[in-house]
């Protein structure tokens, strides 16, 4: 198999949680561009449908939207069941849905803490194990979890204790699943983006401070995550499991 064939995903079926926009949509674009059919699982079903239509028109693949709350086990299982019914299998899963609540630790409520942990960490656990059960029966699969450089460092100046803790948890969850499933041909890796200029943070007042601390002196673009997403989804990464890839413009190096 030549290198181009290793990156080809024609006939593969992928799901992306939080896939309606931003980083998740760029993951979907990466695998759709390589030929994979895609499910976009998101709370914003209307936006997910718009994005699915875009993927079909742009890449000529099959794409669907499924409304999914990743904190609810029954909804995650329902998403998997619908995907199996419509697509026949689950080859690739991006566990990407996440939020951040920036509140000083001494002011953060239990409800705020729990919401971040439930979505960012428990949601990844529920999604990864749900799709993992199908992949284990198939005898192969690739799971890619969205962690963050915040799982490695403490960001400044914003206070985000719950977010940092949740993303550190995602990295260790990734490694633990990878070891458990290593001999079962189900690979599990994570991507840890740095500051990425998505619609959700465009115009944020802290952008000048963040870019000032970055060796590259700029924010990352969502499409700059597509290369690592395609690598981890494809057979090009067949010996890669349990790894975390920090894509942050060297931010965590200094």
Task: Supply the residues annotated as catalytic.
Answer: 148, 163, 167
End-to-end Cα distance, the chain: 40
Burial (0-12, 13-18, 19+ Cβ within 10 Å), 241? buried
List the beta strands (DSSP E) in 100-185.
Answer: 141-146
Question: Using the 8-state DSSP alphabet, how is residue 99 labeled?
Answer: -
From the list 39, 42, 43, the residue with the least C-alpha distance to 52 is 39
Task: Evaluate whether 168 touches 148 at the Cβ level (below 8 Å).
Answer: no
Task: Evaluate whether 119 touches 50 at the Cβ level (below 8 Å).
Answer: no
Task: Evaluate whether 1 touches 25 at the Cβ level (below 8 Å).
Answer: no
Contacts of 195 (CB under 8 A, 6+ apart): 201, 207, 210, 211, 214, 219, 220, 248, 251
């Amino acid at each position: 198999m030549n290198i181009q064939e290793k990156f080809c995903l024609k006939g593969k079926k992928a799901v992306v949680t939080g896939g309606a926009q931003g980083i998740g949509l760029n993951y979907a674009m990466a695998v759709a561009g390589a030929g994979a059919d895609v499910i976009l699982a998101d709370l914003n079903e209307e936006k997910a449908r718009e994005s699915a239509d875009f993927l079909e028109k742009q890449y000529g693949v099959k794409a669907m939207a499924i409304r999914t709350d990743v904190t609810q086990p029954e909804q995650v299982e329902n998403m998997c069941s619908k995907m199996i019914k419509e697509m026949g299998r689950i080859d690739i899963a991006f566990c990407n849905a996440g939020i951040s609540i920036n509140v000083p630790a001494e002011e953060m409520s239990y409800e705020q803490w729990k919401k971040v942990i439930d979505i960012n960490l428990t949601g990844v656990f529920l999604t990864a194990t749900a799709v993992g059960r199908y992949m284990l029966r198939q005898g192969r699969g690739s799971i890619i979890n969205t962690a963050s450089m915040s799982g490695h460092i403490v960001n400044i100046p914003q206070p985000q204790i719950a977010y940092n803790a949740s993303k550190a948890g995602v990295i260790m969850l990734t490694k633990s699943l990878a070891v458990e499933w290593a001999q079962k041909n189900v690979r599990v890796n994570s991507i840890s983006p740095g500051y990425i200029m998505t619609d959700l943070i465009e115009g944020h007042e802290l952008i000048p401070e963040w870019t000032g601390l970055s060796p590259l002196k700029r924010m990352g673009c969502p499409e700059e995550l597509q290369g690592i997403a395609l690598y981890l989804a494809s057979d090009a990464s067949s010996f890669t499991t349990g790894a975390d890839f920090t894509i942050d413009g060297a931010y965590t190096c200094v």
